[in-house]
Amino acid sequence: MYTYRAKLIRWVDGDTLLVLIDLGFYTFREERIRLARINAPEMNGSSTYVRRKAKHARAVGKKLCPHNSTIVIQTRKTKRDMYARYIAEVTYNGKNLSDALLQTEAVQHI
């Protein structure tokens, strides 16, 4: 398990974050991170209802963890999804974002 501090640049959708990861020694890397254990509707969904639910999930995420927040990412080096995003447990102010989103029922558990 690898642990990094990062800055949240923006929420891409309800389960994907764009972050600036601090690798140490003044080295930073921008990455898309997928939140572990959850699945949110896609922003480019096939129907208006799906797109509305996706926007709601992203809005809930923004409320839980606003842009430019400092977060902690825990991931495994080889754990990536089909889009080459790292799958990670993300913590903000001591609260796990996956758990918090599951409690709001804006996303589904996988």
pTM over 0.85: yes
Q: Which two tokens stand for residue 106?
A: 């804006």
Cα angle at 2 between 9 and 65, to 5 degrees? Answer: 30
Distance CA 22, CA 7 (A): 8
pLDDT in tens, 5-16: 999 999 999 999
pLDDT in tens, 92-109: 999 999 999 999 888 888
Domains held by the chain: number: 1
| CATH number of the domain residue 30 falls in | 2.40.50.90
Question: DSSP letters of 25-64?
Answer: TTEEEEEEEEETTEE---TT-SSHHHHHHHHHHHHHHHHH
pLDDT given for residue 34 in this prediction = 94
pLDDT in tens, 25-84: 999 999 999 999 999 988 888 899 989 999 999 999 999 999 999 999 999 877 778 888
Range of the domain at 61: 2-109
